[in-house]
Amino acid sequence: MSSIGDGCLLPRPQGQVVKMAECSGLQFVSPYAFEAMQKVDVVRLAALSDPELRLLLPCLVRMALCAPADQSQSWAQDKKLILRLLSGVEAVNSIVALLSVDFHALEQDANKEQQLRHKLGGGSGESILVSQLQHGLTLEFEHSDSPRRLRLVLSELLAIMNKVLETNGEFFFKSSELFESPVYLDEAADVLCILQAELPSLLPIVDVAEALLHVKNGAWFLCLLVANVPDSFNEVCRGLIKNGERQDEESLGGRRRTEALRHLCKMNPSQALRIRGMVVEECHLPGLGVALTLDHTRNESSDDGVSDLVCFVSGLLLGTNARVRTWFGTFIRNGQQRKKENVSSVLWQMRRQLLLELMGILPTVRSTHIVDEADADMEPNVSVYSGLKEEHVVKASALLRLYCALMGIAGLKPTDEEAEQLLQLMTSRPPATPAGVRFVSLSFCMLLAFSTLVSTPEQEQLMVMWLSWMIKEEAYFESISGVSASFGEMLLLVAMYFHSNQLSAIIDLVCSTLGMKIVIKPSSLSRMKTIFTQEIFTEQVVTAHAVRVPVTGNLSANITGFLPIHCIYQLLRSRSFTKHKVSIKDWIYRQLCETTTPLHPQLLPLIDVYINSILTPASKSNPEATNQPVTEQEILNVFKGLTGGETGRVNQRYSITAQLLVLYYVLSYEEALLANTKTLAAMQKKPKSYSSALMDQIPIKYLIRQAQGLQQELGGLHSALLRLLATNYPHLCIVDDWICEEQITGTDALLRRMLLTNTAKKHSSKQLQEAFSMLPGNHTQVMQILEHLTLLSAGELIPYAEVLTSNMNQLLNPGVPRRILQTVNKLWMVLNTVMPRRLWVMTVNALQPSVKIVRQQKYTQKDLMIDPLIVLRCDQRVHRCPPLMDITLHMLNGYLLASKAYLSSHLKETAEQDIRPSQNNMMGPEAPEVTREELKNALLAAQDSAAVQILLEICLPTEEEKAQSSNSHSLLKNIQSAAAAIEPPSKGVEEEQDSLLCNLREVQCLICCLLHQMYIADPNIVKLVHFQGYPCELLPLTVAGIPSMHICLDFIPELIAQPELEKQIFAIQLLSYLCIQYALPKSLSVARLAINVMGTLLTVLTQTKRFAFFMPTLPCLVSFCQAFPPLYDDIMSLLIQIGQVCASDVATQTRDFDPIITRLQQLKEKPNEQSELCKDLFYKHGLKNMGSMDPDVQLCQCIERTIIEIINMTVSGV
């Protein structure tokens, strides 16, 4: 006989049978026999014993008697063998008799009985199949012939199947004499098999299987039924599983279903694991899944690998399917709650099997006896404990993770025996291999997660000894196993978390190491915290040990796990180094230098917390408790070989990652220092700032450009550097530079590489200098070398920068070809992408007037940031050399931005000056700050406006340029004449257009572009410059050339309201040009305001001021009319009014002026008739003696000219 726990999944030799618990006296179909039936292997069937053959007779008899579909010769031979095999068996005759019944009539009667039962509501009532039973079922069965036997079994079976349907899944046990009497079981089984085979539509095999679960010996009947219809095995199993309970051990029905399916899998062991897969898929019958796994585990070959049971249960609990995890976890929890029949349950068998596997890999010589530490130190790196075998380490790790899942996810409560053996395994000592490192890490985390496993003082002492061994052996394990992230860093990290009371961080660390989310109560860590902080790792020991840990070589994101950098980061956060006066600066510097791409995510947080520990003391009581910053020499060493000008690929000791990290450290340090200046000043502590000389030697722009190409590998470092640059070095973040850089680093760079010849590579800076020295007479050689240099990359151009800039003064001499100037401009812009600050200083010094160059007056970076206007104090010839003026304007824009950043940082650096006066200041501490901020803003505004005024002056033509253009109109005059618009272009206009294509016009365009950028960046500059005023000759240029001049419409009303007459005149003149350029509703309203103001001023101004105001502003009225014709009436009324005022003044002196007033009235009333006549008379007689006229007379004549221009403009349709 065979019990549930002793099942066999391998084929047995012939004659051996399988006996089960409920059906203890019954014989089951063996796997050998079932396989023979599946394959219809007649030879193997012939080898079966009579008892085994008896179970398969229904199928074999049907095979022998029924007409086969296979008409081959081989089957004919096999059929003869089957007949010969059956000839000696007596029971065959009864089965033949059963097959001789009229099954069609039987099926009809069965259907009628089914209908009758439905009508009667499922009651017993009359039976059509079996009428008037005089004895019990058993006696009736014994005395009946074959047809009646079929009817008896069919009637009983249909009754059970109907009741199954009526109960809707509720299990019931049906007592039936037919299925219980041991004497007639074989005959009843024969009848059952024949009925199902002959009446498949009436008796679906899945429904029959479901009904058999409700009778005694149902599993035996089911196995016989399936054995005689072997093709239905999977269908029956799937149906039973699908209809099964979610938790099979909770009910009798679930246990019987599990037992039946387990019988079936015993009979067909090759399909057992497939049936287990169905169980998991449906999330039904978890006990069956475990039982099948146990059967498979006991019969598989014993090896040192991870067993199928461990894999199966781990997959359920640690898989990604939450539904499966919850289902199996419920099975574990419910199984523990049952007190009765605990030993016979599947859960108990599973736990026992796991415990046996665990004990099987434990070291053979091992107990809780603690060996003296003196004995343990006898041989270095060799423990007196018997360690785990190397082949058992992976299996041990799998077992630990499984027990963690069982306890943490499924809620398993270990017995004392399980806890003892688990602790023995966790504190064993594996070999120094990567798998050994993993095992120790898992054991350590399991101790933290389930500290209840350590319950006795002996066990606690064992754990402490094991932890001490971990500390001692950590370096040896790392050196032998070759794993960078070993358990030593994890120990340090946990110790630091315990010291800083970051228990949630320890829980996260444990969960991530174990690879599962389990609930750990912080209170359960209290005992471990005491052991760590007081016995093993005091805070001083932690900090001292952390500094001695070697840095991780070539640290990158590819190195996972817990590294020394994690430990140092936590210690810095908890300020342990400063508390115990342990210097960490050298370790951090070495680690930053030992980095590579892809960037490790912990590096930037490490730098930030390190900077904070430098600037912020650990406590107010001890302001000196800070870390030391990295020295300037150490910083320069990182950039050695890079500042010399070459690309840094040759003889470069440090990686680009290290250089970018050090740059990030320096910039972040300076920003944090400025941000904390007030706090540090209040504490009377001022950390040292890095010198400007150091910052000048770091090639910031070059490094940023390198980082741009490595954004994917650098994580957030590139964006962090850009943020720091935009805040502290805005002159290195000019938009034009980024656009230029895109052009330089795009496809053009690849084309340049293709065109780059060996000749271009051979040119040295010395050859370039020699070519420049020959410049007055020979331009060819310089041009050739410069053209070759344009093929080089920005980094390769750096050695030529000094020669290029130092010879710029020579390019100002007359006769230098424009192509040379443009090529130099192009090379300068390329160099500007990698070394802008140094290049700007060299260029400013090279373009100084010859007097300063002789005096050898050299400006520094700081000089230019304090006074950006030095850039414009260059040689005057630069102002008429567009390529060099472009460079000058670029530098001016950069230094204006740099000056703003410099003054802001200077204000923060000297914040202590605000604190000292505030102690005795009754206005409060905010008053000095506001004053200093206002002074800084005023200085910057004055600086910007001065730069704008100087640039506007440069736009004015010189006396020589005026003389050259004396034959034509002024360069700044706006060609608006109506006659010129309708007449064909004359020779004079062509000459004027030719004269516009000159250096002055190009310089004006460059200046207008820069002014537009400045106005957009800060609209207040526009207002300030126009309130200061500038020559009115420049108004046509500024309005037409600077698109942002429309901003002026916002403040012109305020400018007109100023008391100074000059500002009012300038405002009206500016408005006249703006109305032409921007004929908008806003312009119309401002123009109407200006006309009203002019009318008001007419009544209050004296004769002298009236002449001074209206003579320059009257022509503006023509522009108003041209832009806005609706203003015609208002303007004409104003002109007549002005004429009347002037005429009244003249009338007091003489009567000769009346004809002019009369003419003005006629012009207003009949403009078309009088305009041409007045125009001719005026030009014939009016201009002759204008100089000698009275101011009022001159003003009247100006009015007349204005009216005529307006009339002519109106008539011509302009």
Whether 1025 contacts 1058, CB under 8 Å: no
3-class secondary structure, 1147: helix
Whether 230 contacts 38, CB under 8 Å: yes
3-class secondary structure, 28: strand
Single-letter amino acid code for the residue at 95: I
The DSSP code sequence of 534-576 is: III--HHHHHHHHHHSPPPTTB-TTS-S--HHHHHHHHHHTTH
Question: In this predicted model, what pLDDT tens digit does every residue of 910-921 receive, in sequence order?
Answer: 766 655 554 444
Please give the average per-residue pLDDT across 851-856, as a whole number. 61
- What pLDDT is recorded for position 169? 67
Choice between 314 and 540, residue whose per-residue pLDDT is larger: 314
The DSSP code sequence of 263-288 is: HHHHHSGGGHHHHHHHHHHHT--HHH
Choice between 379 and 389, residue whose per-residue pLDDT is larger: 389
Asked whether residue 486 carries a pLDDT value surpassing 80, the answer given is no
237 pLDDT tier (thresholds 50, 70, 90):
very high
- What pLDDT is recorded for position 368? 38
Asked whether residue 984 carries a pLDDT value surpassing 60, the answer given is no
Asked whether residue 992 carries a pLDDT value surpassing 70, the answer given is no
- What pLDDT is recorded for position 746? 55
- What pLDDT is recorded for position 821? 92
Looking up tokens 């140092």 gives 568
**Low-confidence winner among 326-340, 715-729, 1117-1131 (lowest mean pLDDT):** 326-340
Single-letter amino acid code for the residue at 424: Q
Please give the average per-residue pLDDT across 752-760, as a whole number. 58
Whether 843 contacts 967, CB under 8 Å: no
- What pLDDT is recorded for position 1020? 92
518 pLDDT tier (thresholds 50, 70, 90):
confident
- What pLDDT is recorded for position 138? 63
953 pLDDT tier (thresholds 50, 70, 90):
very high
The reported pTM is 0.61
870 pLDDT tier (thresholds 50, 70, 90):
very high
Question: In this predicted model, what pLDDT tens digit does every residue of 17-35 receive, in sequence order?
Answer: 333 446 666 888 899 988 8
Whether 113 contacts 126, CB under 8 Å: no
Q: What percent of the chain is predicted at pLDDT more than 70? A: 79
160 contacts: CB under 8 Å, gap ≥ 6? 174, 176, 211, 214, 215
Cα-to-chain-centroid distance, residue 213: 57
Choice between 186 and 485, residue whose per-residue pLDDT is larger: 186
Alpha helices in 16-91 (DSSP H): 31-39, 42-46, 50-55, 57-65, 73-86
Asked whether residue 896 carries a pLDDT value surpassing 60, the answer given is yes
- What pLDDT is recorded for position 2? 34
- What pLDDT is recorded for position 342? 63
Range of 153-162, 403-412, 774-783, 1202-1211 with top mean pLDDT:
403-412
The DSSP code sequence of 984-1038 is: PP-HHHHHHHHHHSSHHHHHHHHHHHHHHHHHHH-HHHHHHHHHH---GGGHHHH
Both tokens of 515, joined, read 């690879």
Whether 60 contacts 41, CB under 8 Å: no
- What pLDDT is recorded for position 382? 34
DSSP 231: G
- What pLDDT is recorded for position 853? 56
Please give the average per-residue pLDDT across 81-92, as a whole number. 78
- What pLDDT is recorded for position 774? 83
Alpha helices in 272-428 (DSSP H): 272-282, 286-299, 308-318, 322-337, 346-361, 373-376, 393-408, 416-426
- What pLDDT is recorded for position 675? 82
- What pLDDT is recorded for position 1117? 92
170 pLDDT tier (thresholds 50, 70, 90):
confident
Asked whether residue 983 carries a pLDDT value surpassing 60, the answer given is no
Whether 630 contacts 589, CB under 8 Å: yes
- What pLDDT is recorded for position 743? 57
Whether 859 contacts 874, CB under 8 Å: no
DSSP 878: G
Distance CA 734, CA 712 (A): 24
Please give the average per-residue pLDDT across 190-201, as a whole number. 87
Asked whether residue 724 carries a pLDDT value surpassing 50, the answer given is yes
- What pLDDT is recorded for position 86? 78
**Low-confidence winner among 297-301, 356-360, 786-790, 1096-1100 (lowest mean pLDDT):** 297-301
- What pLDDT is recorded for position 867? 92
Question: In this predicted model, what pLDDT tens digit does every residue of 997-1051 receive, in sequence order?
Answer: 688 899 999 999 999 999 998 999 999 999 999 999 999 999 999 999 999 999 9
Please give the average per-residue pLDDT across 256-276, as a whole number. 90
Does residue 430 have a cis peptide bond before it, meaning omega lies within 30 degrees of 0?
no
- What pLDDT is recorded for position 1031? 92
Choice between 77 and 1069, residue whose per-residue pLDDT is larger: 1069
Asked whether residue 1075 carries a pLDDT value surpassing 90, the answer given is yes
Choice between 734 and 197, residue whose per-residue pLDDT is larger: 197
Question: In this predicted model, what pLDDT tens digit does every residue of 874-885 receive, in sequence order?
Answer: 989 999 999 999
Cα-to-chain-centroid distance, residue 880: 51
Please give the average per-residue pLDDT across 241-259, as a whole number. 84
172 pLDDT tier (thresholds 50, 70, 90):
confident
- What pLDDT is recorded for position 834? 85
Whether 1040 contacts 974, CB under 8 Å: yes
Q: How many CA atoms lie within 13 A of 267 on its CB side?
A: 33
947 pLDDT tier (thresholds 50, 70, 90):
very high
Asked whether residue 307 carries a pLDDT value surpassing 80, the answer given is yes
Whether 325 contacts 283, CB under 8 Å: no
Choice between 98 and 832, residue whose per-residue pLDDT is larger: 832
- What pLDDT is recorded for position 109? 81
Please give the average per-residue pLDDT across 1105-1121, as a whole number. 91
Measuring CA to CA, which residue among 1110, 1049, 1111, 1117 is closest to residue 1077? Answer: 1049
- The mean of the pLDDT values for the chain is 79
Please give the average per-residue pLDDT across 1071-1079, as a whole number. 93
